[in-house]
Chains A and B, each alone.
Chain A
Amino acid sequence: MARDGGVSCLRRSEIMSVGMESAPLDLDEVHVLAVDDSLVDRIVIERLLRITSCKVTAVDSGWRALEFLGLDNEKASAKFDESSNFREVPVVIMSSENVLTRIDRCLEEGAEDFLLKPVKLADVKRLRNYLTRDVKLSNGNKRKLPEVSDSVHASLPPPSPPLTLSPDSSDSSPPLSPVEIFSSPLSSPIDDEDDDVLTSSSPESLTTPEESPIRRQKMRSPGLD
């Protein structure tokens, strides 16, 4: 379901034509960042992804996801702007709730796809197939990191072209592939339960309207607590 699949494919063929064929490219190596606050779900999604030849890092919250991505400090957030390479990271949402309006909203806000829980092997295989087509090659041989996230505190990237990870954007974290998967948070005190997939902060922090500017800013980052 890539919205800009055409662009990504074009880039890849461009890169290929510049003589990268000589480099030993492992086109199937995809690194997924899975975020889920449920241990059971984390284990299952990890296994699902491993079986479909993905490298997986599983974390239990949006904050840990940011940590992993190297976006958990002031300096990092400042660097996180329109030109950030993170924009090329596709996001896929996972939720146990089949609410069409919310699903549509997720997709409008920039999510690549939506998986209904419980997630099955066929779902992940399908995802894997079109990720393989769409992923832009980063510097070197490693492909970008898809993020699979089912977080209580999920947030969505803004509705614009996906993020690209630049080589120097995060010194401490590994190169990322362009897919993030978030699922609907379990509950939120702000909106009613039906809308909780769109909240981007933890229940205890987002309780007042004054917080919304922060939320707006934070919405730009992939996965937030």
Chain B
Amino acid sequence: SKNSEEIALFFVYQTSHLLLSASSSRVHTAMDSLIAQLQRQFRDYTISLYHQGFLDDQFTELKKLQDECSPDFVAEVVSLFFEDCEKLISNMARALDQTVNVDYKLVGSSVHQLKGSSSSVGAKRVKGLCVTFKECCDSQNYEGCVRCLQQVDIEYKSLKAKLQDLFNLEQQIVQAGGRIPQ
């Protein structure tokens, strides 16, 4: 009878062990599929941002500079870029507020700076708008400048929101224990 007890215990142990791994593997599978789903979303969203011209090659270059030692590099740089946008746009708005005595050199110089930094982070649409904006400054086209300023403002805010969504997705993937697709 001792034997049968041992066998019974052993049997119970094996069964519970099986149950445990079954449930953990179920959880594991659920997690895997969540990660896979998030990764798919991330990939698709990234591709669409390039496709729709929000981002260009240079954004890819920035990602190359990110690693385990600098895991938030891209986020940090774009954050600085958006701060730059805000400051420069504010300067330009102030200059254009002068209406009659607009310092087009100042506006032009700010546009140039904005063009430079947008180019450095891969903000393709913002950069493109800066080209038009610069032309308006050079020809001292007041209406054109005002229009460009509005468009640049909308565009950088739009990009900011989209990149925030992208970074949020990244975070979700990491929190779920997954890797961010390259």
Residues of A whose CB lies within 8 Å of any CB of B are 38-41, 43-44, 47-48, 51, 96, 117-121, 186-187, 189
Question: Measured between alpha carbons, how far is A3 from B22 in the docked complex, in Å?
Answer: 70
Question: Measured between alpha carbons, how far is A70 from B108 in the docked complex, in Å?
Answer: 34
Interchain residue pairs A-B with the least CB separation, the first 4: A40-B117, A118-B58, A118-B120, A47-B65
Question: Measured between alpha carbons, how far is A82 from B73 in the docked complex, in Å?
Answer: 42
Count of B interface residues, CB-CB < 8 Å: 24
Question: Measured between alpha carbons, how far is A121 from B66 in the docked complex, in Å?
Answer: 12
Residues of B whose CB lies within 8 Å of any CB of A are 58, 61-62, 64-65, 70, 73, 76-77, 80-81, 84, 105, 108-109, 112-113, 115-117, 119-122
Question: Measured between alpha carbons, how far is A48 from B65 in the docked complex, in Å?
Answer: 7
Q: Give, as a whole number of angstroms, the nearest-CB distance from B116 to chain A.
A: 5
- In the complex, the number of residue pairs spanning A and B with C-beta atoms less than 8 Å apart equals 58
Q: Is the interface of B mostly helix, strand, loop or mixed?
A: helix
Q: Are A117 and B119 in contact (CB under 8 A)?
A: yes
For A51, list chain B residues within 8 Å (CB): 65
Q: Are A41 and B65 in contact (CB under 8 A)?
A: no
Q: What are 22 A-to-B residue pairs whose CB atoms are below 8 Å?
A: A38-B84, A39-B80, A39-B84, A40-B80, A40-B121, A41-B117, A43-B76, A44-B62, A44-B77, A47-B70, A47-B73, A96-B116, A117-B120, A118-B58, A118-B120, A119-B120, A121-B61, A121-B65, A186-B109, A186-B116, A187-B105, A187-B108
